[in-house]
Amino acid sequence: MKTDDLREAYLEFFASKGCVRKPSDVLAPNDPTVLFTPAGMNQFKREFMGLGDPGFKRATTCQKCIRTGDIENVGKTPRHMTFFEMLGNFSFGDYFKREAIHWAWEFLVDTLKIDPKRLTFTVYLDDDEAFDIWHKEIGVPTDRITRMGEDDNFWPAGAPTQGPNGVCGPCSEIFYHGDGIEEVEIWNLVFTQYNRVGPGQLEPLPNKNIDTGMGLERAAAALQGVRSNFEIDVFAPIVDAAADVLGVDYAQARDTLDGVRIRRASDHARAITFCLHENIRPGPEKQGYVVRRLLRRAVLDAYQMGRREPFLYTLAPVVAESMRRGYPELVDSVPRVQHIIRDEEERFLRNLENGMRLLNDTFRKTKAAGSDVIAGDAAFDLLSTYGIPVEVTESLAADQNLRVDMPGVEAARTKFSAVSRGTTEAADVFATGPLDTLKEAYHKGSEFLGYTSTEAPATVIGILEQGQLAQSAEASQGGPPIVLVLDRTPFYGESGGQVGDVGTIRGDGFAFHVEDTKKDNDFFLHLGRVVEGKVAVGGHVTATVDVDRRQAIRRAHSATHLLHNALHKHLGKHAQQAGSKVEPDRLRFDFANPEAVGKERLEAIEKTVNALVMTGSAVSWTLMPIAEAKTLGAMALFGEKYPEIVRVVQMGDFSRELCGGTHLDNVGQVGFFKIVGEESVAAGTRRITALTGQAALDLVRQEEDVLAQLSATLRVPASQVPDRVAALLDEIKTLKKQAAQRKPDAGDKTSADDLLAAARSAGGATVVIAAVENATADELRVLIDGLRRKREQGLAVLLITAAEGKVQLVAGFSRDLVDKGQHAGNWLKKVAPVVGGGGGGRPELAQAGGKNPDQIPAALEQAWTVIQENLGG
């Protein structure tokens, strides 16, 4: 059976049993307890806890998952994967153990036609009920049912005696035995029927739940008779493509180290493609760190196979095509995904060359010191900075008769682990808070009235003070803000990039100033302070939004939709939104684009937005099923999770987007749109910052004033100011060049050649640290410019001079070192205090001052110590 057919058969089977077929959750859910979605049950956390009324008691899904706990085993074993699909059927206080077991048997034996003799089962040691259902009702022989302990057949593992407290239950696992294939667990049925309150103390839950998980790839491998997940029909093309681009015959390499590397690269290509589709991009922390780690590991595998060029990006279209039936939306993302992967590959390959040089330098220094142990922090730095896994360092070190201090590695990893930890304990998954308690009484949360009203009567249903529910709150001076929860509100809660509303809430004898509004757990949280009287739960109030601020926010939010339209027109459909921030008359808009948007295109984009504004087209919105909205062409954000019924905002005949924000009545109310910045925020992602309305007009007036002042100062008409400034800059450049090239007076000046002659080396860079006599700060800068012309790459400079009891320090780096993270201002911040001063500046050039000339020798020593640490040598 094809993998796609298996996925559909499962979902259709459980839909026939009354389970609502729900879409997969996103890979990076809005859940602080996990980095990535690890299982199908994660999106039903609230349903399992009995909070709210979802409108269904049974569900079935095929969930996209990412787990990184066993990442080192990917490619080495037949089953370990980073990205995988989890089929699941769930019950929230509805059907239970008997139905779950009978339906599992029915699906495997009757629907999939699996020979029952190929199946074995496990149950929890004390779960006689499950044992009897399998044996007495289904008819499974007792020799094919094994009772297992709490470490194997209880969720969470070991919960009865080891904890944590909370929801838990026994499970029953189903194994498949194929010809010549080791047994594989294909399905786990979890019966969450207890609440653990202490060691060995399991209290029955009033509402028992079912949580099952079948690994799609594992089940497909069993049905297709192949020995590993990497050989199933949707994975084999990726493996073949990886082997082809790496120039390896996979059939011959399958059981070698190269085979492991090819499988690992194929797995990582799948995970990375899905992550990038959902705008989870390579970065230094959280999910982005995981994506970067996966990509770098795959590139390093290829590097060790002799590949020195990017290759992983070529697998993205293969992934999209092999997964097309289940995830057709992947195909449109391929160009954007490929660009991001290739850009990251190219940068890492440059970094990897440096890393390998540093590794060899580390080997040399270790031997020179008479040691045979590579320091743990050095080995971990090679991983975190250059992407070289510790086991690779170990292997290469062994070739040099060296070993790695693994306890030291673990100590360094512990300091760094927060950014890469992607798992959570069950107690965290089912953690409850004050809003959950409130939700038990108010299942539907707060009713939002803000689309049509800015003032409304309401009732206080909750007060949160210092994170705890309270019955009342009084006016006080200082202290943290408190939270009011209303049954209905016109205040917009921060979401979708739009900031929350501010305003006032007034009742009988009290006033509450709303400083911000958030949204959580279907409640709108009004953060602020009681400025008069006393507010109590049950009090009747009038909630009033700051109308002028709301209108400014509406202008900015509607402008983001117009900007999105203009980007598609001038850059192409690939310029999809990747994030936004909407504030009063100010917005920032992140979008996919491989390169900077030039001045002419920015002007054209701005002109298009203002042309749309001047149409005065009506803005309208309607609620509709998400499938209908997508059919109509409404734009949706990659990776965003939408409900079944969505709000579609339409502007004229040129924009239609899924959006929950507040908008204008017509686009003419934007007034004026002005782009003020364009920059890179990540590989393949650009950001435009813009102003609207009065803020945009104020900026234009300020710029006109500045131009008028320049015109008066330079004594030329405004139209000639640019030419006059350019001429002055050319004159300054010429003077600097002449100053740098002039010969110093006899012994009282220092030249760039003199400084280079005394230079030292650190981390492969040329380092110039010197005190220069009889020089001004300007002359130090000229000297640094001269040094950078002579050493365009790998140069670090810090010069110090003193005159009349004052010290001047100037530091600079060559562009390549700046690109690698060096920062002249940060360097000076660690040196200037030695001479009793401070300062800072740009990454490439910075200046500082001090007042203790007698400490210049100590400052020079400090400068050398700091740069050695920064450059790693």
Question: Which residues line the annotated binding site for Zn(2+)?
Answer: 557, 561, 659, 663
| DSSP letter assigned to residue 496 | T
CB atoms within 10 A of CB 633: 8
How far, in Å, CA of 360 to CA of 504, rounded? 65
CB 156 within 8 A of CB 426: yes
Residue positions forming the annotated binding site: 557, 561, 659, 663
**Is residue 841 helix, strand or coil?**
strand
In this structure, what DSSP letter does residue 23 have?
P
Nearest Cα to Cα of residue 545 among 661, 445, 456 = 456
- Encoding tokens for residue 640? 């965003």
Q: What SS3 class is residue 365?
A: helix
CA–CA separation, 487 and 523 (whole Å)? 8
List beta partners, residue 621. 649
Contact 659, 558 (CB under 8 A): no
Half-sphere exposure of 140 (CA within 13 A, CB side): 27
Q: Token pair 């992947």 is at which residue? A: 330
Closest CA to 43 of 57, 60, 58, 29: 29
Please provide the size of the chain in residues. Answer: 873
Q: Using CB atoms within 10 A of its CB, is residue 259 exposed (0-12), middle (13-18) or buried (19+)?
A: buried
Q: Which amino acid is at 470?
A: A
**Residues ≥6 apart with Cβ < 8 Å to 146:** 120, 121, 122, 123
Token pair for residue 756?
Answer: 């280079």
- Cβ atoms of 195 and 138 within 8 Å: the answer is no
For helices 777-790 and 721-741, give the axis angle rounded to 10 degrees: 80
Q: Say how far apart CA 81 and CA 192 lie, in whole Å.
A: 26
Contact of 606 with 675, CB cutoff 8 Å: yes
* Alpha helix positions (H), 400-475: 406-416, 426-429, 434-441
Alpha-carbon separation of residue 155 from 172, 421, 427 (angstroms): 10, 21, 11
Element (H, E) at 757: helix 752-757
How many angstroms separate the CA atoms of 816 and 813, rounded? Answer: 8
Taking the C-alpha atoms of residue 216 and residue 65, their distance in angstroms, rounded to an integer, is 11
DSSP annotation of 716: S
Closest CA to 828 of 858, 798, 785, 788: 798
Residue 47 tokens read as 């349903």
Contact assessment for residue 116 and residue 233, using Cβ atoms and an 8 Å cutoff = no
What secondary structure letter does DSSP report for 853?
Answer: G
Q: How far apart are the first and last CA of the chain?
A: 58
- Is residue 477 helix, strand or coil? coil
Residue 545 CA to residue 741 CA, distance in Å, equals 65
Burial label for 38, CB within 10 Å (0-12, 13-18, 19+), is: buried
d(CA 482, CA 466) in angstroms, rounded, equals 7
Q: For the CA atoms of 553, 557, 563, 568, what is the dihedral angle to 10 degrees?
A: 170
Which of 774, 777, 802, 779 lies closest to 859, judged by CA?
Answer: 802
Angle, helices 257-277/286-304, rounded to nearest 10 degrees:
150
